Amino acid sequence: MVGYDYKNKIEALKSENPAMIACPDYVFWEAELSISWEEGILVFSHPEASMLATDFERFSEVLPDKNPRVEVLGLESKETYSEKVKAIQQHIVEGDIYELNFCQAFHFQQYSWNPILGFLDLMRISLMPFSAFYKANNLYLLVASPERFLKKTGRRLIAQPIKGTIRRGKNEAEDEMLRLRLFDSEKERAENLMIVDLMRNDLSKVSEIGTVDVDELFGVYAFPKVHQMISTVSSTLRENVSLKDIFHANFPMGSMTGAPKIKCMELIERYENFKRGWFSGTLGVVQPNGDFDFNVIIRSIVFDKSIGKGYFAVGSAITYDADPAYEYEECLLKASAILEVLTRQR
């Protein structure tokens, strides 16, 4: 786990906005045992751990029937959001940046809210390829992310940035129409291409010369609530490159900052009114041989059980021709599954 604010250890940056929940910048640990599901059977990495199987089978019996409905409060009004988008666009006009990922936060307070049940509800509504449930002492992270940050297999490194979102259709015909609209959108393509270029540059810092390739550009993939535009960039790592080297060259992911990255992070600190914490960081697994796979922490809830408080955030890419009203609605679309889980409006 590496939180967004780890950026301050890589660049001369700061995070002085109020923290919704105090989250450590990074947490790494070595698992004592692993549990996998193979053809419907629980498999434990240590023979003595098999005694946990009965507890796993009875686990659902100790969960409450449902979570209480909570009131979700936003930190940004629609009017203030629009004003900030226009201010960010002025930076684009002045040549400071090309695009910026501007996010807004939401929070709730409920001591009796159960994060395990919340995660199960979230998976029923919006199961995603990079979903995860993570606990560190009293802090919980419920992730329903569609986005991969980085994956390393041997010396091959791949990044799969997402830029471009549209809702799913109510029927097959509308769904296909919306998919094609996303694919054909010049604005969404421009957003995606800028981040692909940024990722190519980041990967090149730790890769063999001439090995950075774009394997797929503007791929459109369907998820439970949205279609997403995803591109894939790959490279061959140089010899003896460490995990720290790779992270320092690529973190934070360009899809959550904008381009150019450092200037965007400075402006994010100015225009956002919360400390991102774990949101827009990354969570993943490092194998004993050094291979790893890390996601992007989006569409996710951070919950501190000791104070009964949770928060989540959503954002979109602000470009020169972005419409503030449309971007605001896109944020709510991305938050829709989490809002269903928390407010029980389904």
57 in a structural domain: no
Task: Estimate the share of the chain in helix, then strand, then coil, as percent rounded to the nearest 5.
Answer: 35, 30, 35
* Cα(220)–Cα(155) distance, integer angstroms: 27
Please pick, among 76, 99, 147, 272, the residue that the annotation labels catalytic: 147
Residue range of the domain that includes 317: 4-30+63-343
Distances (CA, A) of 170 to 125, 155, 176, 220, 224: 16, 43, 10, 18, 12
Domain contains 42:
no
Residue 309 near residue 323 (C-beta atoms within 8 A): no
Provide the token pair at 324. 């503030």
Catalytic-residue membership of 7: no
**135 bridge partner residues:** 140
Residue 279 φ then ψ, to 5°: -60, 135
Give residue 58's pLDDT. 64
Q: Which residues pair with 143 in a beta bridge?
A: 132, 300
Residue of 222, 227, 224, 223 whose CA lies nearest to 125: 224
Classify residue 43: in a domain, yes or no. no
Domain count for the chain: 1
Closest CA to 212 of 226, 227, 230, 232: 232
Catalytic residue selected from 163, 261, 275, 334: 163
pLDDT of residue 46: 74
Residue 98, domain member (yes or no): yes
In whole angstroms, what is the distance from residue 6 CA to residue 269 CA? Answer: 14
259 CA to centre of own chain: 18
Q: Is residue 193 part of a domain?
A: yes
Which CATH number is 330's domain given?
Answer: 3.60.120.10
255 occurs within a structural domain: yes
Q: How far apart are CA 228 and CA 209, in angstroms?
A: 31
pTM for this predicted structure: 0.94
Reading the block at residue 149, the tokens are 């940050």
- Asked about 170 being catalytic, the answer comes back as no
Residues of the chain with pLDDT under 70: 47-62, 345-346
Residue 37 located in a structural domain: no
Peptide bond into 24 cis (omega under 30): no
Which residue's structure tokens are 């003896």?
240
